Amino acid sequence: MNVEIVIVGSGVAAAAVADRILKSKPTTSILVLEAGGKVKMKDFSIYQNYVATGGLPYNEYYDEAPPTRGCKGENR
């Protein structure tokens, strides 16, 4: 494999550098290496009930009103 540029690390800065290089010279071949393991994705199966019921997980906590009096740091 012939690569012109190797970028070690695939963070935000590496992506920005690769983007700028490709914008200035679109034919450049770039290899981005990352040593980390596979990123564990969030389990979106808990949201499947939303299609059937319209309710999100932990929906019972979304409708709580904020306290109005007797709060620490309250301006009076």
pLDDT, tens digit (0-9, with 9 covering 90-100), for 19-34? 999 999 999 999 999 8
**Residue 62 within any structural domain of the chain:** no
**Residue 18 within any structural domain of the chain:** yes
Q: Which residues constitute the domain of residue 13?
A: 1-37
Residues 14/35, Cβ–Cβ less than 8 Å: no
**Residue 64 within any structural domain of the chain:** no
Q: What is the CA radius of gyration of the chain?
A: 24
**Residue 17 within any structural domain of the chain:** yes
**Residue 13 within any structural domain of the chain:** yes
**Residue 46 within any structural domain of the chain:** no
| SS3 label, residue 13 | helix
Confidence of residue 37 (pLDDT cuts 50, 70, 90): confident
Look-up of token digits 């009096």: 69
Q: What's the structural domain count of the chain?
A: 1
**Residue 60 within any structural domain of the chain:** no
Tokens of 49: 């009930």
pLDDT above 90: residue 3: yes
